[in-house]
Amino acid sequence: MPGLYACSPATTSLLFLRDRRNCAIIPYMENYKEVRFVLYYTMFLNLVATVAKILVGWFTGSLSILADGFDSLFDSVSNVVGLIAIYLARRPPSKDHPYGHRRYEILMTLVIAVMLFATCFQILRSAYDRLLHPTTPDITVWSFGALLLSIGVHLYVTRYEERRGRELRSEFLISDAMHTRADIFVSVSVMAGLVVVRLGYPIIDTILAVVIAFLIAKIGLEIISSSTRILTDAAAVDASRIETLALQVPGVESCHEIRSRGQEDDIYVDLHIRVAPQMPLAQAHQIAHEVQSRIERAIEGVSDVVIHIEPQPGGSNSQGSDLFARMKAIALELGIPVHHLNAHEIEGQYVVNLHLEVPEGLTLAQAHAQATQLEDRVKAEIPDVTEISTHLEPAATTRSECEAAQDDAQIVSIVQTLVRSVQQVHDCHGVSVHRAGGKPFVTLHCTLDEDLPIAEAHDVSTLIEERLRQECPNLAGVTVHVEPDEESPVTT
């Protein structure tokens, strides 16, 4: 189910993520048969033009027509590449590719670009050979007929494939249409070359070939530029547009860290929004749903929305929000896990309460010494803090078990036991383990009291993450999905 999440390692904030089950791939799977039909249809047409030019070039001895025929053969090859691309791209998300396989299509467009550069190289090479060894082909009516047929077929294929590519939002079909357009230039240059050869100026044929080669190279560069924007995660949507949509939702006080990536029909969006610190978890969950819904309705092509929810600094009952960040930084530097920080302001000074976790093996004197070290350091670096009350509690001891776990099932069991030991957690479920660089990456869901203020829910999510990282240092990362308990009715 959708929920509020705490994400690591980049941030320990609350966030919302809609259910991802195939959401990014379903629209493309619906178009698969149509895209496949376009590729089979255009491959047949390209083969007709290819066979006509190769036969005429062979029987007339025209090397330029023959070369043009073999160049058109690349179009049919590119259709085969396209069929492979959509076969790979249509596969649903998997354990190794949780975001789906759409980028295989983008990788295949780069194959088309390489084919364009190969065509460009071949034309330049032929032009160079023509300069060294001038030839005069046997020009007949069949020569012009084959070229006119090729031009007509390629004009139709270009317009049809580009139109269908935009309708079906297929980057590959659009790229392949650009490749076919390049073949039109080649056929026109060959026809012009035949005309000027008849007029007694064979050098013009070579000059035209060089010009067209550079035009083809330009098309290849445009394809690479478009594809690399997607592969390098360039922004897919203007951040200000997303911010405007989020701020229109009642309860959202501010928003930041707005990011987007993907291609036109498969856009991923994530952002941080801030709400009142004392807002109940269930209400914050509903706000996250509404922000997600507005973004999806307003921006066509959005497949996935991740919303990080944080307590608003400077909001009601959040006097110590900046103070807490400084105290947590000091505790992290000392290697002392802390949580449930509360501050009370009295005439410009702060009285702080916090929970401090200590290993079970420590004596009371040793645990007290750690608390004293933290308190002295905080008072020295933050003069506004005049009094600190520390609650000592034992930390969970699963490190040896976690590091010794032999398989993912054991890690899941250990994580569930550790998370359920946190007092505020009602249940832990949906634990999954993925591998990143050979190390386990854990994702889990846990439920909390739906009336828990968002600031405290944020604190619990941070505590869970810190415990998991402390007890299982071999983890590559942790994502904690925090949700309101559904057993009681949702309050608004």
pLDDT for 264-305, tens place per residue?
Answer: 777 889 898 888 877 888 888 888 889 998 998 899 888 888
**Percent of the chain predicted with pLDDT > 90:** 1
| CATH code, residues 26-231 | 1.20.1510.10
Q: Rounded to an integer, what distance in angstroms lies between the CA atom of residue 384 and that of residue 401?
A: 42
Q: Which residues contact 271 (CB under 8 A, 6 or more apart)?
A: 242, 243, 246, 255, 256, 257, 258, 259, 306, 307, 308
| CATH code, residues 239-311 | 3.30.70.1350
> What are the two backbone dihedrals, phi and then psi, of residue 32, each rounded to the nearest 5 degrees?
-55, -50
Answer for the pair 116, 223: CB distance below 8 angstroms, yes or no. yes
- Give the confidence band of 22 by pLDDT, cuts at 50, 70, 90: very low
Helices (H) and strands (E) in the chain, counts: 13, 11
Q: Considering just the CA atoms, what is the radius of gyration of the chain in Å?
A: 32
User: What is the location of CATH 1.20.1510.10 in the chain?
Assistant: 26-231
> What are the two backbone dihedrals, phi and then psi, of residue 359, each rounded to the nearest 5 degrees?
-60, 145
- Give the confidence band of 124 by pLDDT, cuts at 50, 70, 90: confident
Answer for the pair 123, 212: CB distance below 8 angstroms, yes or no. yes
Strands of the 385-394 sheet, one edge to the other: 338-346, 349-358, 385-394
State the average pLDDT over residues 195-199.
74
Helix (H, G, I), strand (E, B) or coil at 407: coil
* Of the candidate ranges 85-99, 175-189, 312-326, 404-418, the one whose mean pLDDT is the lowest: 312-326
Q: Rounded to an integer, what distance in angstroms lies between the CA atom of residue 296 and that of residue 309?
A: 18
User: What is the location of CATH 3.30.70.1350 in the chain?
Assistant: 239-311, 321-484
Answer for the pair 443, 398: CB distance below 8 angstroms, yes or no. no
Predicted local distance difference test score (pLDDT) of residue 291: 92
Neighbours of 492 (CB within 10 A): 7
CATH fold for domain 321-484: Alpha-Beta Plaits (3.30.70)
User: To 10 degrees, what angle do helices 171-198 and 26-60 make?
Assistant: 20
Q: Which residues contact 406 (CB under 8 A, 6 or more apart)?
A: none
State the average pLDDT over residues 363-372.
86
- In this prediction the pTM is 0.54
Give the residue from 394, 359, 388 showing the smallest Cα distance to 374: 388
